Amino acid sequence: MDIVYIRDLRVDTIIGIYDWEREVRQTISLDLEMAADIRKAAETDDIQYALNYKAVSKRLIAYLENRDAQLIEALAEEVADIVRTEFGVAWMRLRLSKPGALRGARDVGLIIERGDKPA
């Protein structure tokens, strides 16, 4: 299995349950690993056979910048659904975090895996 990844994609969005969080944009960070067979892209040197990480990141940025969520759990499931359905990704791992959300911690967040991990 090959993995295409995006590390520390930062997006400003409305996220949180507290009143003050509903009034300011906060930065979230995404680390995304996506199963992809890169052999045909490597053989042909043609982007049409690659999992286009730029297209994935642009789609997620556009979505998340306009999303108003209370829980990162909701965002994580929505990101997973977009990646899997719109980009044909069979398996993915997402680490979604809120940097600076907890005093004394660099960040807080969650990690999810969705789909069947190819061998």
Instruction: Give the residue numbers annotated as catalytic, written as ranges.
Output: 98
109, 95 in Cβ contact below 8 A?
A: yes
| Per-residue DSSP letter, 21 | G
Q: Are strands 107-115 and 68-69 parallel, antiparallel or unpaired?
A: unpaired
| Per-residue DSSP letter, 116 | P
CA dihedral 25, 111, 63, 80 (to 10 degrees): -170
Give the angle 77-79-80 at the CA atoms, nearest 5°: 65
